[in-house]
Structure 1
Amino acid sequence: MERLSGLDAFFLYMETEAVHMHVALTAVLDPSGMPGGYSPGKIQTRIAERIHLVPIFTKKLVVPPLQIHHPYWVDDQNFRIVNHVRHVTLPKPGGPHELGRLTGDIASAPLDRRRPLWELFVIDGLYDGNIALVAKVHHSCLDGVAGVDTIMNFFDLERDAPATEPPDTEPEPRPTEREVVADAIRQRLHEFRNFVPLARKTARNVAAVRRSRKVEHEAPGGTPLAAPQALFNGSLTPSRNVAYSQVSLDEVKKVKGAFGCTVNDIVLAICAGALRRYLLAKDELPERPLLATCPTSVRGDDEHDEHNNKLSGFYTSLCTDIEDTTERVRAIQTVTDAAKREHEMVGGSLLSEWADVADPTLFNAGMWLYARSKLADHHRPIHNLMISSIPGPTFPIYMAGAEMVRAYPMGPVLEGSGLNITVMSYVDHIDFGFMVCDDLLPDVWVLAAQIPSAFEEVKEAADGLTPFAD
């Protein structure tokens, strides 16, 4: 029996009829090198052989009586791989738009909490002969960095890696209700004792940020509830759609060197340029700059084998009000540096500490009330969108002999904000995954199509600069 941390459980409590708190990945594989040829069963067999390496994938939730504390993970006594790995043939013509629509349909349905919280769809029928794997995993199980670590358990470094024999183990017996209640009460009392010290720590840290913002020579980071209204902000519906794009990692690194910034700064600049182009074409660009929430990992080097959430986040301006590309990139670099500095002042662990002491019943009820009342339509957005950046493998990986050629990650959209852009580097490119509320942003492929043009603008701006030394 393993109790979810407050942060893991936080993603369960945020879920409503329209907010689905799962993360997703569309991995495109070249099956031409699979020994004996491709078949969906070979993928399912490989997953079954390795499932023991990811214990969270064979556990399900147990909620304590009256929700007196966060849920627990217990072994699913009736776990069957066929309930989680499915085969689908993509509708013709089998292009990226059809794959995105199917992925959006998959993302539009919540995961069944009576079973382990993941699904994998093996998809063939792609126009170019490739296959796709669409994975859907609840955010309570893992964050982006843990997701990459999880992928590596099912993939190999060589095309012809030998099959593995899973161990013959019996699931652990389910704990009694008395054991669950006793453990929950004990943990709850311990956490309540931390409430006053945590409140004092929070007040001190927030005061430090406020003092730093009064220093004239220091630029501030982004501020929640200071975002302008954008066309993709509002109350969500359950419907999702997905789009993809890609840029060269090597070229991003060259641009980064010219500007003397980070890869993440350039990713934000590309997204800002794409959003600016998209909104200008619709005559919908707000006068104030768009505000993005950027999740950031606080996972230690010794925590990469854990399947949980170790993350925090900061708010940053995308400076979409600045027309000149060079000035916009410089401004994004400045405000993002400030946001990271303020994030360190607040403390990367503060979110998880408050999640531990939050009351599950009140928080979940509050989220449902907020969503059903459509309050997001009646106040300034907390943020306009989320942008996440995840470092992926720098080398090719293989699933049952099929080489992964592209990997588009996707995070959830949150109430009030119908757009999430998640990017992941893989070998020599960076893949962009767009997850949207279809009713708020029905032409997501038009937005995704702006990524290459926005990157060209950033590259042109970098051409006239003297490269910084690494």
Structure 2
Amino acid sequence: MDQLSGLDASFLYLESGAQLMHVCAVIVVDPTTIPGGYDFESFKAELSSRVSDIAMFNRKLKFVPGRIDFPVWVTDDEFDIDRHVHRLAVPSPGGDRELTEVAGHLAGIPLDRSRPLWEMFVIEGLASGKIAVFSKMHHASVDGVSGSNMISYLCSLEADAPPLDTGGGSAATYQRTPSDLELVGRGLAAIGTKPVHLARLLVPTARTVVETVGRARRGTAMAAPLTAPRTSFNGTITGHRSIAYTDVPLDAIKEIRRAVPGATVNDVVLALSGGALRRYLLDRDELPESSLLASVPVSVHGESKRLGGRNKVSSIFCRLGTDVDDPRERITQMSVGNANAKDHHKAVPADTLQEWAEFAAPRTFGLAVRMVSDLKLAERGPVIHNLVISNVPGPPVPLYFMGSRIDALYPLGPVFHGAGLNITVMSNHGQMHIGAIACRELVPQLWDLVDQFPVELDAMRSALLDG
């Protein structure tokens, strides 16, 4: 039986009409590379053929009666590709702004939990002659790594070649759907073991707390949550979304990394984000005196000892240096701070978040989300973090999606009450694609922020390479 882990299920429990827990992507493809040419019905038929043997596209949720235990995945015996793949067109003139208006609207619509938790929208009418595919998959089903692996299930290295890999997504059919009685029995048994499970967690958690206190005293701890300054995008979110994106050369990112001893590509990405946010907030006369704080997801797929669950992720907190004007000083601080954060993170058991998530309760989580929203608690208390920034490694070579060459892939993560902005970057064949998604009411002019990334990159290169 394929049961969701506590962390997987928590993304279901945290979801509301405003706080949507799916991850999205805008994939821009060149249809002229498709053997035999493009037409929507053939495109959909090929997609249907490729997803037919991949479990993540064919499974749906079955909830335990009384919600006494986490849901399980079962095969959707009534799977219909027409419920998941749709055709749209952007309004004239068909530019990036029009495309993101359509994508923002789609991102604000929740997925239907009675079906497999994914959708794709093939968007035509772009002035460039290209096609955009807007994808949505629920976070209960994928995390950043497994979500990017979806590309390998559907893409190939040549336009007419078979998909790269279906091994990780095979076994589309579960042998048997468990009965309600069986699920209740397993749920009651799981409840009985939770006190023992909790007792086992207390000692390692206490050690982690002691270790964190010691690091804080030595000045080698990661940045602490609840210490972020308040900005205009730190408040109660709605279900409306704004989307924007841009590209920067990956070689430029690597040049900057080489100019700062000890720096990593991720350090450069975070420093670039900090500089762009600084420019954006300065233009709006909103720049806080202290640095913005980002939550940065970290994959623990390689360290986790847990066999089940799709989400194997932890998080570190990073100061973005928005209070620093000089790009060289900002990235130097970022490199040192991130080295401490990574070292601190390694001292925390990889499965800590997953272990504690096993105590997730749907009613408790749902009540908490409603309370935060109804009482607007995100606008009153301390700010946990200002935004989420994620860096997802992508393919170093061109990929073909249903035979069409991928020219750009902009990943988009969820936003939360209190942190209504998410920036996710993905490298792809020499480019760094930057996708931003936000609550539309909190960040109505998201392009104003995204347009600062190339400007800040030039400033960083000038400061580090020309000086």
Question: With structure 2 as the length reference, what TM-score do the two structures score?
Answer: 0.94
Counterpart Cα distance in 1 of 2:314 and 2:304: 18
Which string of whole-angstrom CA distances, capped at 9 and with x for unpartnered residues, describes residues 130-165 of structure 1?
00111000000011111111111111111122699x
- Structure 1's 35 and 427: CA in aligned 2 closer, same or farther, altered over 3 A? same
Q: Is this contact kept in 2: 1:58–1:79, CA < 8 A?
A: yes
Counterpart Cα distance in 1 of 2:304 and 2:359: 25
Which residue does the alignment assign to 2:209? 206
Which residue does the alignment assign to 1:130? 130
Q: Is this contact kept in 2: 1:142–1:307, CA < 8 A?
A: no
Unaligned runs of 5+ in 2: none
- Greater alpha carbon shift after TM alignment, 453-462 vs 344-353: 344-353
Counterpart Cα distance in 2 of 1:350 and 1:362: 20
Question: With structure 1 as the length reference, what TM-score do the two structures score?
Answer: 0.94
- Greater alpha carbon shift after TM alignment, 440-449 vs 152-161: 152-161
Cα shift at 1:173: 4.4
Cα shift at 1:417: 1.0
Counterpart Cα distance in 2 of 1:318 and 1:28: 30
Whether 1:446 and 2:458 are equivalent positions in the alignment is no
Which residue does the alignment assign to 1:468? none
Which string of whole-angstrom CA distances, capped at 9 and with x for unpartnered residues, describes residues 393-415 of structure 1?
11111123210010000000011
1:7 partner SS: helix
Counterpart Cα distance in 2 of 1:23 and 1:426: 18
2:156 partner SS: coil
Which residue does the alignment assign to 2:297? 295
Whether 1:139 and 2:147 are equivalent positions in the alignment is no
Cα shift at 1:464: 5.1
Cα shift at 1:188: 3.2
- Structure 1's 87 and 254: CA in aligned 2 closer, same or farther, altered over 3 A? same
Which residue does the alignment assign to 2:225? 224
1:278-317, aligned counterparts within 5 Å?
A: 278-300=280-302, 308-317=310-319
Which amino acid is 2:22 matched to?
A: H
Whether 1:248 and 2:252 are equivalent positions in the alignment is no
Whether 1:404 and 2:406 are equivalent positions in the alignment is yes
Unaligned runs of 5+ in 1: 466-470
Q: Is this contact kept in 2: 1:219–1:334, CA < 8 A?
A: no
Counterpart Cα distance in 2 of 1:73 and 1:122: 27
Q: Is this contact kept in 2: 1:292–1:387, CA < 8 A?
A: yes
- Structure 1's 306 and 122: CA in aligned 2 closer, same or farther, altered over 3 A? farther
Cα shift at 1:192: 3.1
- Structure 1's 368 and 223: CA in aligned 2 closer, same or farther, altered over 3 A? same
Q: Is this contact kept in 2: 1:46–1:399, CA < 8 A?
A: no
1:128-207, aligned counterparts within 5 Å?
A: 128-161=128-161, 172-207=175-210
Which amino acid is 1:267 matched to?
A: V
1:214 partner SS: helix
Which string of whole-angstrom CA distances, capped at 9 and with x for unpartnered residues, describes residues 222-255 of structure 1?
1111000011110001100100011111111111
Which string of whole-angstrom CA distances, capped at 9 and with x for unpartnered residues, describes residues 189-212 of structure 1?
334311022122112101111111
Q: Is this contact kept in 2: 1:46–1:154, CA < 8 A?
A: no
Which residue does the alignment assign to 1:235? 236
Which residue does the alignment assign to 1:110? 110
Counterpart Cα distance in 2 of 1:72 and 1:171: 11
Which residue does the alignment assign to 1:424? 426
- Greater alpha carbon shift after TM alignment, 456-465 vs 109-118: 456-465
- Structure 1's 171 and 318: CA in aligned 2 closer, same or farther, altered over 3 A? closer
Which residue does the alignment assign to 2:258? 257
Which string of whole-angstrom CA distances, capped at 9 and with x for unpartnered residues, describes residues 247-280 of structure 1?
1111111111111210000000110010000110
Q: Is this contact kept in 2: 1:63–1:71, CA < 8 A?
A: yes
1:383 partner SS: coil
Which amino acid is 1:85 matched to?
A: V
Q: Of 431, 434, 437, which residue of structure 2 is paired with 1:435?
A: 437
- Structure 1's 197 and 375: CA in aligned 2 closer, same or farther, altered over 3 A? same
Q: Of 382, 385, 397, which residue of structure 1 is paired with 2:384?
A: 382
Which amino acid is 1:308 matched to?
A: R
Q: What is the identity percentage for the equivalent residue pairs of Structure 1 and Structure 2?
A: 40
- Structure 1's 53 and 336: CA in aligned 2 closer, same or farther, altered over 3 A? farther
Q: Is this contact kept in 2: 1:206–1:346, CA < 8 A?
A: no
2:114 partner SS: coil
- Structure 1's 88 and 306: CA in aligned 2 closer, same or farther, altered over 3 A? farther
- Greater alpha carbon shift after TM alignment, 173-182 vs 375-384: 173-182
Counterpart Cα distance in 2 of 1:310 and 1:168: 20
Which residue does the alignment assign to 1:32? 32
Cα shift at 1:357: 2.3
Counterpart Cα distance in 1 of 2:172 and 2:466: 62
Counterpart Cα distance in 1 of 2:2 and 2:304: 19
2:388 partner SS: strand
Cα shift at 1:48: 1.0
Q: Is this contact kept in 1: 2:304–2:312, CA < 8 A?
A: no
Counterpart Cα distance in 2 of 1:237 and 1:363: 18
Which residue does the alignment assign to 1:80? 80
1:343-362, aligned counterparts within 5 Å?
A: 343-362=345-364
Cα shift at 1:56: 2.0
Which amino acid is 1:37 matched to?
A: G
Q: Is this contact kept in 2: 1:385–1:417, CA < 8 A?
A: yes
1:47 partner SS: helix
Q: Is this contact kept in 2: 1:60–1:116, CA < 8 A?
A: yes
Cα shift at 1:129: 0.2
- Structure 1's 391 and 195: CA in aligned 2 closer, same or farther, altered over 3 A? same
- Structure 1's 461 and 161: CA in aligned 2 closer, same or farther, altered over 3 A? same
Cα shift at 1:169: 8.3
Q: Is this contact kept in 1: 2:4–2:308, CA < 8 A?
A: no
Q: Name the count of aligned residue pairs.
A: 461
Which residue does the alignment assign to 1:41? 41
Q: Is this contact kept in 1: 2:75–2:172, CA < 8 A?
A: no
| RMSD after superposition | 2.1
- Structure 1's 162 and 259: CA in aligned 2 closer, same or farther, altered over 3 A? closer
Counterpart Cα distance in 1 of 2:269 and 2:52: 36
Cα shift at 1:362: 1.6
4+ residue segments displaced more than 6 Å: 166-171
